[in-house]
Amino acid sequence: MVHLSGICSAGPASELLEEIFLRLPAAADLARASAACVSFRRVVAAHTFLRRFRAIHPPPLLGILCGGLTPAQPPHPSAAAAATFADADFSCSFLPPSRDRWCLREVRDGRALFSPALQGTNHNYNPSDLVKEFAVCDPLHHRYLLLPVLPDHLASQVHPPDTVECETFFAPPGDDEDSSFRDFRVMCLVRSITKLVLFVFSSCAGRWLADPITFDVLGCAVVSRRYYAHRCFYWPDL
């Protein structure tokens, strides 16, 4: 156990405090330490420190999400925390009404990505439709962000008759990014007969990036399933 009594008034270097706090066993202990005094809170609230702490202490496994949440059970160390979220609204019914029914696209890093179902049925969507509207949700805390609509000058770079599939997903976080709810990137990959076009939304910039990434690739209609590993997406060449 680490004893920190008297340190507040002693005024040690923030680097020493960081090394002490990094050795705390859980986020709850870190929260209690940050409430001790202003200097502790200043160190704990720094983005650089939080990135280091999260790298050493990854978020606990709360359960398995498949339709609803199947929470971790005792003796798993996260069982108590998971029980508090057993009734969480993972369908994100708190989203505002949309012209078309909201459809879940992906869940990653505690966020859920939704878009209107458009012409889809049975809670699915038509994969060849170019989706322009998105919502990012935090199911555990009932928060959401409605993204700006994909601008027309970007959407005009793809042509619906040639579109094979429109796939949207979260980009993996970079080393310089915070893991807070409001720090993320959404990728919209449009596959056509002759090319791939990638549109990127950055929450830091608050907009879709002006220059999409275009790949002139023949045979895009048979591009294989997307995989993710080591913070990278890849598609095997079949």
Q: pLDDT tens digits, residue range 122-133?
A: 555 666 778 899
In eight-state DSSP terms, residue 59 is P
Q: pLDDT tens digits, residue range 139-194?
A: 888 899 999 999 999 998 888 777 778 889 998 766 555 556 678 899 998 888 87
Q: 10 Å Cβ neighbour count for 73? A: 11
Helix (H) or strand (E) holding 207: strand 207-208
Bridge partners, 198 (sequence order)? 189, 213
Q: What's the whole-number mean pLDDT along residues 196-210?
A: 91
Q: Are residues 82 and 177 in the same domain?
A: no
**E strand map for 29-142:** 63-66, 68-71, 102-108, 111-116, 135-138
Tell me the two tokens of residue 215: 């790949």
Residue 94 domain flag: no
Q: What's the whole-number mean pLDDT along residues 220-228?
A: 61
pLDDT at position 221:
46
Furthest-apart CA atoms within the chain: distance in Å: 70
Number of domains in the chain: 3
Opening angle at CA 211, ends 127 and 162, nearest 5: 35
pLDDT at position 177:
53
pLDDT at position 10:
45
Provide the residue range defining the domain that includes 121: 102-234
Backbone angles phi, psi at 4, to 5 degrees: -115, 10
End-to-end CA distance of the chain: 54
Residue 68 domain flag: yes
Closest CA to 94 of 133, 139, 132, 124: 139
Q: Are residues 84 and 72 in the same domain?
A: yes
The rounded distance, in Å, linking the Cα atoms of 65 and 147 is 24
Is residue 7's pLDDT more than 60? no
Residue 27 domain flag: yes
pLDDT over 90 for what percent of the chain? 18
- Under the banding of pLDDT at 50, 70 and 90, the label for residue 238 is low
pLDDT at position 1:
46
